């Protein structure tokens, strides 16, 4: 046990103590006015809470590495994961807030008055959240693996135990202030290393202004080595793949059940709009920094690690080689480690960078704590989404409507446990890097929920058979495309598995419209409810007339 291990562990434990402390403190004070106080949260803090909920291991651990490995093509993730907030905030969040349900399957079930639609939406929620949590568990495996200097797979197993315990805290998740704290830890842990690296490399403490020249210099280094330039567009994938991936991530963002739920914690449509704006500002701090991270660490690797004798590599390399995520082999046998002989997994770039740049044990520990906050907070939310979909939407409403409260809680607990263990088993041998696995979850959300919600909110003619057929077709098309592209090498226009959402969403929208138009329109009451979503919450639409309630705030 070295001092690095102790410092990292201490910071992780201390940050977890902080989250639990805040949760307990707030709960004790607010039992009676829990919902009112919850809804009194100012938009700016709700924005931070959305940021913590949203930024998972994929954003924190995976994103910078993905950009480093893919160069310009990795920026599809940056634009996709930020641009989706506009679709969400402009087209869905305020309207879903006015409709006032608690979960997305519940909205779909009531908007279309169909139990079948509710069940399909619940199953889609489970599939999406499950896929997403595989990425989170793989991410915690990377962090824990490095911490204990063990194989990342052993790290996953430890992560499963921690996450299963964490998720059973359950109610704690609902408390916004915990997530505000998680956001602050996470963003500090992300920004401090990148600011230090910027100072080291460019003598300018503002990475966003300084790394442009580093990007250009990387292009030159690549040209010298006879590689394609770092910033050259569409080297790793076609332009169509870039746009398909970007679309999948944007539409998926607008349809992700556990993100939409965060907009229910504010009281008005106005607050929903401002929350969305603040959320993207806070998320943007990390997303604007990820490409800088990528550029700086690639620069250090190329300048300082590549080209050095294989005998005298820095000490940090050995620890990462132990996790199985870094290989440095002198394949040419000349005793010098060439750039081409380094194989670095996307997923370790952020975690390894503070060590690569020699930033000291405190910063390394802080990054570990931030990464754990990102992985665990999102995984906790996802597992709760899975268990509530299963225990409430499927078990209670369909299988056993007479179930007691206790029985339902037991079902919820067991489904968290089983989902965690099964996701952990898949994560032992992750079917892709973290960002890719998470991209599948987004592709699935864009193929199922995005069309159902957009049409449900904006088109009153959309009916139950339409949305059922749409969700089923969207899910099948997206899943089939992911499997065919990933394992069968099948592609259209060079679009690979991560861009599958574009086909799923188009198929679902078409199916939804065609089936809706060829079946009976929804009842007048349902159509009125959709008309009602056009107006702010003070106005109510009823029988072709609009009423204003001056007392609603």
Partner 1 sequence: MRKIDKKKADAYFKSRVRLIAILLVIWFGVSFGVVLFAETLAKYTFNGFPLHYFMGAQGSILVFILLLFVNAYITDRIDQKYNLVEKKAKASKGQTLQS
Longest dimension (CA), the chain: 83
- For position 27 contacting partner 1 by CB under 8 A, the verdict is no
Binding of partner 1 by 205 (CB under 8 A)? no
User: Within a 10 A sphere around the Cβ of 227, how many other Cβ atoms?
Assistant: 15
Out of 148, 169, 287, 339, the only residue in the binding site for partner 1 (CB under 8 A) is: 287
How many residues are recorded in the chain? 553
Ramachandran area for residue 330 (φ above 0: left; ψ -120 to 50: alpha; else beta):
beta
CA distance 34 to 287: 33
- Under the binding rule (CB under 8 A), the answer on residue 91 touching partner 1 is yes
Report if residue 169 touches partner 1, rule: CB under 8 A: no
Near partner 1 by CB under 8 A, which window of 84-92, 254-262, 416-424, 494-502?
84-92
Among 277, 417, 422, 428, contact with partner 1 (rule: CB under 8 A): 277
The answer to the question of residue 539 lying near partner 1 (CB under 8 A) is yes
Separation CA 84–CA 40 (nearest Å): 26
Among 25, 90, 414, 483, binds partner 1 (CB under 8 A): 90
Helix, strand, coil percent values for the chain (each to nearest 5): 75, 5, 20
Of 14, 25, 33, 307, the one binding partner 1 by CB under 8 A: 33
Work out which of 213, 308, 523, 524 binds partner 1, going by CB under 8 A.
Answer: 213
Of residues 63 and 117, the one with the C-beta less far from partner 1: 63
Q: Is 203 in the site for partner 1 (CB under 8 A)?
A: no
Q: Does residue 236 interact with partner 1 by CB under 8 A?
A: no
Q: How far is the CA of 132 from the CAs of 74, 163, 297, 442, in angstroms?
A: 19, 14, 27, 8
Geometric angle at alpha carbon 428, from 427 and 433, rounded to 5°? 55
x/- letters, 237..276, toward partner 1 (CB under 8 A): --x--xx--xx--x----------------xx-x--xx-x
Q: Scan for tokens 């009194």, then name that residue.
A: 40
Report if residue 339 touches partner 1, rule: CB under 8 A: no
Of 9, 199, 288, 425, the residue at the interface with partner 1 (CB under 8 A) is 288
**Distance separating alpha carbons of residues 14 and 369, to the nearest angstrom:** 9
Minimum CB distance to partner 1, residue 233 (Å): 4
Site for partner 1 in 496-535 (CB under 8 A): 534-535
Phi then psi dihedrals of residue 337, to 5 deg: -85, 115
Q: Which of 37, 422, 472, 513 binds partner 1 (CB under 8 A)?
A: 37
Residue 72 binds to partner 1 (criterion: CB under 8 A): yes
Q: Which is nearer to partner 1, 95 or 182 (CB)?
A: 95
At 336, give phi and psi (nearest 5°): -115, 135
Which DSSP string do the residues of 139-190 spell out, in sequence order? Answer: HHHHHHHHHTTS-HHHHHHHHHHHHHHHHHTGGGGG-HHHHHHHHHHHHHHH
Per CB under 8 A, the segment of 285-293, 317-325, 356-364, 464-472 that binds partner 1 is: 285-293
Q: Which is nearer to partner 1, 154 or 539 (CB)?
A: 539
CA 426 to CA 527: how far, in whole Å? 43
Asked if 273 and 528 touch (Cβ cutoff 8 Å), the reply is no
Task: Give the footprint of partner 1 on this chain (CB under 8 A).
Answer: 33, 36-37, 39-40, 42-43, 67, 72, 75-76, 78-79, 82-83, 85-86, 89-91, 208-209, 211-216, 219, 231-234, 239, 242-243, 246-247, 250, 267-268, 270, 273-274, 276-277, 280-281, 284, 287-288, 291, 534-536, 538-541, 544-551, 553
């Amino acid at each position: 046990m070295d001092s690095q291990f102790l410092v990292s562990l201490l910071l992780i434990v201390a940050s977890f103590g902080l989250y639990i402390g805040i949760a307990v403190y707030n709960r004790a004070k607010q039992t009676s006015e829990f919902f009112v106080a919850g809804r009194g949260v100012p938009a700016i803090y709700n924005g931070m809470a959305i940021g913590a909920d949203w930024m998972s291991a994929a954003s924190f651990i995976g994103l910078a590495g993905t950009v480093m490995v893919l160069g310009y093509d990795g920026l599809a993730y940056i634009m996709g994961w930020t641009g989706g907030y506009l679709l969400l905030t402009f087209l869905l969040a305020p309207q879903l807030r006015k409709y006032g349900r608690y979960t997305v399957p519940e909205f779909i079930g009531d908007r279309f008055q169909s139990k079948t639609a509710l069940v399909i939406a619940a199953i889609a929620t489970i599939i999406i959240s499950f896929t997403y949590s595989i990425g989170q568990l793989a991410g915690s495996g990377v962090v824990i693996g490095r911490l204990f200097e063990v194989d990342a797979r052993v790290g996953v197993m430890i992560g499963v135990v921690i996450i299963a315990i964490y998720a059973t805290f359950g109610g704690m998740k609902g408390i916004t202030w915990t997530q505000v704290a998680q956001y602050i830890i996470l963003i500090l842990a992300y920004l401090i290393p990148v600011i230090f690296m910027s100072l080291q490399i460019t003598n300018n403490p503002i990475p966003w202004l300084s790394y442009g020249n580093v990007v250009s210099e990387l292009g030159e280094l690549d040209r010298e080595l006879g590689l394609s330039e770092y910033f050259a567009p569409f080297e790793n994938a076609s332009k169509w793949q870039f746009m398909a991936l970007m679309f999948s991530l944007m539409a998926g963002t607008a349809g992700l059940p556990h993100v939409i739920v965060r907009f229910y914690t504010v009281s008005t449509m106005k607050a929903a709009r401002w929350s969305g704006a603040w959320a993207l500002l806070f998320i943007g701090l990390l997303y604007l920094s990820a490409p800088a991270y990528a550029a700086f660490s690639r620069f250090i690797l190329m300048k300082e690690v590549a080209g050095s004798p294989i005998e005298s590599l820095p000490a940090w390399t050995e620890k990462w080689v132990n996790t199985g995520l870094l290989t440095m082999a002198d394949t040419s046998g000349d005793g010098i480690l060439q750039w081409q002989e380094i194989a670095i997994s996307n997923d370790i770039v952020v975690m390894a960078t503070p060590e690569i740049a020699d930033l000291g044990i405190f910063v390394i520990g802080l990054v570990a704590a931030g990464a754990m906050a990102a992985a665990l907070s999102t995984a906790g939310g996802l597992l709760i989404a899975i268990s509530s979909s299963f225990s409430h939407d499927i078990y209670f409403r369909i299988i056993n409507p007479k179930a007691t409260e206790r029985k339902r809680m037991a079902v919820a607990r067991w489904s968290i446990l089983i989902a965690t263990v099964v996701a952990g088993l898949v994560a032992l041998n992750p079917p892709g890097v973290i960002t890719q696995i998470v991209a599948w979850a987004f592709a699935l959300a864009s193929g199922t929920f995005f069309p159902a919600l957009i049409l449900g909110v904006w088109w009153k003619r959309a009916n139950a058979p339409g949305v059922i057929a749409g969700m089923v077709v969207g899910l099948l098309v997206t899943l089939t495309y992911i499997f065919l592209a990933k394992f069968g090498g099948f592609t259209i226009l060079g679009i690979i598995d991560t861009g599958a959402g574009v086909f799923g969403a188009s198929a679902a929208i078409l199916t939804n419209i065609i089936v809706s138009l060829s079946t009976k329109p929804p009842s007048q009451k349902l159509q009125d409810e959709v008309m009602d979503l056009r107006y702010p919450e003070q106005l109510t639409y009823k029988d072709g007339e609009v009423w204003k309630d001056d007392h609603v705030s």
